[in-house]
Structure 1
Amino acid sequence: MHFEIYAEDIARAKKFYEDVFGWKIERWEGPMEYWNITTGKQGEPGIDGGLMKRQGGDPRADTPISTYVCTIDVSNIDEYLNQVQKHGGKVTMEKSPIRSVGWFAYCLDTEKNIFGIMQPDVNAS
């Protein structure tokens, strides 16, 4: 239904997700600093989300909001792994197959949030 990404540096996180995935991120006009994320076109698979200032500093288990793993569907996992690194992110688990499902990897964004990327491929083994 909705996801949220927490960031210490909103501008840096906004640039990372716009550059890597082509997402549209716009400031919400409400009473708090909040950025709406549009991940794709209306009527296509996927969900939209938000970007907001991280509460409590670095992501750790004892912070008010640590992290939630969101997995992003990609058409070419190798291309996206390169884009993640090119734009300041890190690959934390290299591409590996999930048999009959696809190729999967974990990455960190510029704000130390972990996220997954998956390329569907029924021939993965």
Structure 2
Amino acid sequence: MVGIVLISHSGPLAAEVAALAARICAVDVPLGAAGGTEDGGLGSSPELVAAMIERVDQGDGVILIPDLGGSVLTARLFEAPGVVVADVPFVEGTIAAVISASAGAPLRAVLAAAEDARRFRKF
């Protein structure tokens, strides 16, 4: 199953979005929150992201979903075969990715589902 890592400047924000997506999906998806810094401050930590990638990686790839600015730069440090960065709305993209991953979709399909969430924000 594809793993998903949420990267935010805020630990509580990343944790709450992960919890929301897990509750909506109601299926155990390898989903992790890497928010804030090691000391609980605001920022993004490459060390926390690396640890979370390792935790959620089940061999089918990992999608990184950053919230903004520095989190995007931190996520891009980890782009590699099997690890992709999704440029998506943080909440909607996460939920779409979790639902798609829970259905057993491959990495590119989970990424496409997350990216498709952007269309539903346009009025």
**TM-score > 0.5, shorter chain as reference:** no
TM-score (normalised: structure 2): 0.31
Higher relative contact order, chain-length normalized (CA < 8 Å, sep 6+): 2
More helix by share: 2
Q: Which has the greater radius of gyration?
A: 1
TM-score (normalised: structure 1): 0.31
